[in-house]
Amino acid sequence: MGVPVVGLSSELHGGNLAARAAALGVRSHHLLDASASLAPLRPAVALELWRSSLDLAGLRAYPDRAHSVLRVAIARLHGLDPAWVLPGNGAAELFTWAARDAAAAGVSALPAPGFADYGRALVCWGGAALPWALPLHWDAAFPQVLPAPPAAQVLWITNPHNPTGQLWSRESLAPLLARHQLVIVDEAFLPLAAGGEAQSLIPLLAEHPNLVVIRSLTKLYGLAGLRLGYALAAPERLARWAAWRDPWPINGLAVALGQRLLRSPARYQRHCAWVQAWCAREGAWLAQRLAGLRGPLGVLTPLPSAANYLLVRGEGSLVPLRQSLEQRHRILLRDCRSFDGLDERWLRIGLQSRRGNRRLLRALRHEWALLGAPC
């Protein structure tokens, strides 16, 4: 039998840039935020953001409540009818509506370790959940087979998984659609992973009305503050969600920028290819150097990842290391205690530019040696 899920403190969430800057008495731009997992903001994207902000006529009017142009652009990317698309105020808003359906369907299986926002969304509707334990050891042979879930009416799947970075194979996910009443797949990081699209469940939507796929544009374009994502699902389900939500859930600037960024599928594909190359290059570079870190406190072990973040394991508590990096070097890493099943021995590091990764590595080497030195 399921038990109500319990919300976790937002203080352990990544991306709290303004709050941490205030606590440290510095400006936000002085911090290197590796607690959030975002693609670098490319100059071309920044230019589109600037152009969108100049469309004063569009910003003065209320946004189109149907988001018609944006839905058409998203649908074109995935070969779908626009009725199968619902843009949202980031993926988080869409998790809330997915959770309403999930709570009505029965007990949810939540991966552990896993993203705490699924539990947050279920709490909104009094939903019940069971933990779905995932292994904490794996190799780099991606894609991988998703471990069998517990008996539950609803599955929440993250692909690639957060915080581990494991890329699950479509072959292992597809059979679950026939066994569960509702399957919610968070593909927020999939466009950033090399070979990720080949594992997407989007091509299975037409045959499975119990499937929901949620994506985030703000991670792919490095614009988390703008809040823009979308859900892909059967039109009847999305129409129900649209009736539940606020009249204008997405601001006009986000809509305008989304339309600009997605108006050309070829341009979108080129951006994805650039991000995937960056992710593969910087992930391998940083992981190789982290694996060589040894000191009085032992070794740091980065686990294989297909995503733009690395889950790192220590032999003891990594809280002092994270705090030292923040206080002395103005570098933020993700405290993993908000992920069910992880404790103070784990950190998640979001990939940065090469310059940012070098800064991070220098600070890590310094503090890792310093923490083990006798007083």
CATH number at 306 reads: 3.90.1150.10
Given a cut of 60, whether residue 375 has pLDDT beyond it is no
Where residue 371 falls among pLDDT bands split at 50, 70, 90? confident
CATH number for position 147: 3.40.640.10
Could you tell me what percent of the chain has a pLDDT over 70? Answer: 93
Residue at a domain's end among 215, 247, 263: 263
27 vs 68, higher pLDDT: 68
Residue at a domain's end among 263, 292, 311: 263
Given a cut of 50, whether residue 137 has pLDDT beyond it is yes
Residue 84: the pLDDT is 98
170 vs 14, higher pLDDT: 170
Given a cut of 70, whether residue 9 has pLDDT beyond it is no
The mean pLDDT value for 226-250 works out to 96
Given a cut of 50, whether residue 4 has pLDDT beyond it is no
99, amino acid identity = A
Residue at a domain's end among 236, 263, 290: 263
1 vs 91, higher pLDDT: 91
Residue 187, Cα to own-chain centre: how many angstroms?
A: 8
Given a cut of 50, whether residue 11 has pLDDT beyond it is no
Given a cut of 70, whether residue 3 has pLDDT beyond it is no
Q: Tell me, yes or no, whether 74 and 217 share the same domain.
A: yes
Among 222, 223, 227, residue whose Cα is nearest residue 279: 222
Given a cut of 50, whether residue 1 has pLDDT beyond it is no
Q: Tell me, yes or no, whether 238 and 182 share the same domain.
A: yes
Q: Tell me, yes or no, whether 168 and 102 share the same domain.
A: yes
Q: Tell me, yes or no, whether 232 and 250 share the same domain.
A: yes
Residue 141: the pLDDT is 95
254 vs 101, higher pLDDT: 101
Q: Which domain holds residue 109?
A: 43-263
Q: Tell me, yes or no, whether 17 and 94 share the same domain.
A: no
Residue by residue, what is the 3-state secondary structure of 80-136? CCHHHEEEECHHHHHHHHHHHHHHHHCEEEEEECCCCHHHHHHHHCCCEEEEEECCC
What does the pLDDT look like over 314-366, one tens digit per residue? 999 999 999 999 999 999 999 999 898 899 999 999 999 999 999 999 999 99
Q: Tell me, yes or no, whether 186 and 329 share the same domain.
A: no
What does the pLDDT look like over 77-110, one tens digit per residue? 999 999 999 999 999 999 999 999 999 999 999 9
Given a cut of 80, whether residue 14 has pLDDT beyond it is no
Q: Tell me, yes or no, whether 37 and 183 share the same domain.
A: no
Domain count, the chain: 2
Name the most confidently modeled range: 23-27, 44-48, 150-154: 150-154
Q: Tell me, yes or no, whether 125 and 196 share the same domain.
A: yes
Given a cut of 80, whether residue 155 has pLDDT beyond it is yes
Residue 196: the pLDDT is 97
Residue 219: the pLDDT is 93
Where residue 294 falls among pLDDT bands split at 50, 70, 90? confident
Residue 338: the pLDDT is 87
Given a cut of 50, whether residue 289 has pLDDT beyond it is yes
Given a cut of 60, whether residue 13 has pLDDT beyond it is no
Q: Tell me, yes or no, whether 230 and 275 share the same domain.
A: no
Name the most confidently modeled range: 3-7, 19-23, 210-214: 210-214
Q: Tell me, yes or no, whether 88 and 120 share the same domain.
A: yes
Q: How far apart are CA 212 and CA 207, in angstroms?
A: 12
The mean pLDDT value for 112-126 works out to 96
Residue 161 near residue 185, CB atoms below 8 Å: no
Rounded to two decimals, the pTM is: 0.92
* Residue 184: strand, helix, or coil: strand
Q: Tell me, yes or no, whether 285 and 151 share the same domain.
A: no
Residue bearing tokens 């950033």: 192
- CB 306: neighbour CB atoms within 10 A? 28
Q: Tell me, yes or no, whether 65 and 143 share the same domain.
A: yes
With the C-alpha atoms ordered 85, 86, 88, 94, is the resulting torsion angle positive or negative?
negative
- Residue 372: phi and psi, rounded to 5, are -95, -5
The mean pLDDT value for 289-304 works out to 88
Q: How far is CA 196 from CA 241, 272, 273, 276, in A?
A: 27, 10, 11, 9
Q: How far apart are CA 371 and CA 294, in angstroms?
A: 12
